[in-house]
């Protein structure tokens, strides 16, 4: 695991770095903000989102936060515009699905080829959570189309809170930490706290991410179920939350993303904002399905997977559950009742 940032191998003179960032959503806006706020004197940051309002809002927010860096920031209006910039060191993408990663990669490559900027060793860093074959395919595509370029998967763990606080964990497809280039370490340390090398094969970082998010999805479901059980016993949910925080049932889902409002007000958890502002249920379901599909490809049975998928599928039938933080499953499971025949009935009324 790496924590130390290295700026230069042989000189104390600051090195110019051109960074790009694609995707300014719930996670990406915070990751890009940290890059912006930590730019060195000669660095530049170029940002793009398919939603112009997201790009404009990002620029407005960060330049108010640190106006002295505004001359180092440029908002681009298309992916093709990246190719017009000389000497990009790293372009980070944080987008929803594999199809978006594929499209972004192909458009970036086309832009650089059209502009004739294909000799500088630019690295595409994808931090999205997608399927392994698509990511490996993107790496092979880049290597074939622009041999000087490279593509590497570096997904993250830590959720929106980790992105906001700059404490993300990066899982990188490299055999050892020492093989991660110093400039890459510098970039990742601007956005996160921990860097792990997960394996030499393309997609190794995603393998670690999918295994982790499988654990998250299952644990979150169990935590929400547990809190509903405690409630049925007549326990005070807030008191139970404090008990579980110092007991053997403690987990990220029960403490750092506690589903009970008002337990940790200083942390500004999604549960305190009507389950808004976190890692939404439908994306948790997406990652769970990716893990299940990958497990099938690798002939690894997941014994809790289908049960968990069933309840995430049921919850995501309701838009107000699908579009809010995954801890909202506590609220949803409270609306599952038994009828006179003992059959489970979904009584949730969508907002």
Q: Which residues are catalytic?
A: 209
Contact yes or no for 82/112 (Cβ under 8 A): yes
In the chain, the N- to C-terminal Cα span, in Å, equals 44
How far CA 348 is from CA of 226, 291, 304, 322, 328, in Å, comes to: 19, 28, 24, 13, 12
Q: How far apart, in whole angstroms, are the C-alpha atoms of residue 197 and residue 132?
A: 16
Crossing angle of the two packed helices 305-315 and 204-232, in degrees rounded to 10? 70
**Residue 69 gets which letter from DSSP?**
G
Contact yes or no for 135/206 (Cβ under 8 A): yes
Site of tokens 């594999």: 98
Contact yes or no for 88/18 (Cβ under 8 A): yes
DSSP secondary structure string for all residues of 95-111: -SSHHHHHHHHHHHHHH
Site of tokens 């949803």: 332
Q: How many helices (H) and strands (E) does the chain have?
A: 12, 11
Burial class from Cβ neighbours inside 10 Å (0-12, 13-18, 19+) for residue 343 reads exposed
DSSP secondary structure string for all residues of 206-262: HHHHHHHHHHHHHHHHHHHHHHHHHHHTT--HHHHHHHHHTSTT--TTTTTT-SSTT
Reference 89, options 197, 178, 212, 184; nearest CA is: 184
How far CA 282 is from CA of 200, 233, 323, 324, in Å, comes to: 31, 30, 6, 8
């Amino acid at each position: 695991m790496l924590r130390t940032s290295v700026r230069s191998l042989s000189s104390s003179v600051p090195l110019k770095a051109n960074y790009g960032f694609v995707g300014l959503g719930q996670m990406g806006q915070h990751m890009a903000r940290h890059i912006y706020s930590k730019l060195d004197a000669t660095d530049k940051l170029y940002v793009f989102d398919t939603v112009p309002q997201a790009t404009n809002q990002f620029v407005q927010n960060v330049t108010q936060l640190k106006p002295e860096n505004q001359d180092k920031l440029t908002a681009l209006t298309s992916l093709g515009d990246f190719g017009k910039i000389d000497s990009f060191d790293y372009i980070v993408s944080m987008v929803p699905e594999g199809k978006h990663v594929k499209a972004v990669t192909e458009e970036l490559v086309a832009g650089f080829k059209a502009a004739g900027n294909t000799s500088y060793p630019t690295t595409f860093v994808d931090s999205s959570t997608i399927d392994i074959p698509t990511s490996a395919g993107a790496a092979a595509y880049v290597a074939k189309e622009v041999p000087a370029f490279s593509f590497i998967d570096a997904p993250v763990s830590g959720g929106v809170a980790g992105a906001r606080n700059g404490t993300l964990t990066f899982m990188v497809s490299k055999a050892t930490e020492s093989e991660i280039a110093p400039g890459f370490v510098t970039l990742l340390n601007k956005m996160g706290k921990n860097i792990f090398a997960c394996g030499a094969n393309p997609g190794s970082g995603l393998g670690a991410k999918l295994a982790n998010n499988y654990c998250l999805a299952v644990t979150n479901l169990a935590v929400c179920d547990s809190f509903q059980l405690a409630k049925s016993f007549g326990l005070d949910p807030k008191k139970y939350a404090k008990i579980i925080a110092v007991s053997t049932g403690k987990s990220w889902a029960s403490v750092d993303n506690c589903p009970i409002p008002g337990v940790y007000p200083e942390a500004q958890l999604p549960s305190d904002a009507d389950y808004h502002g976190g890692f939404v249920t439908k994306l948790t379901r997406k990652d769970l399905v990716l893990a299940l599909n990958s497990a099938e490809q690798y002939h690894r049975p997941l014994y809790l997977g289908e049960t968990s998928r069933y309840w995430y599928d049921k919850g995501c039938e309701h838009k107000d559950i699908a579009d809010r933080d995954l801890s909202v499953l506590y609220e949803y499971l409270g609306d599952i009742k038994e009828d006179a025949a003992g059959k489970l009935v979904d009584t949730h009324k969508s907002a």
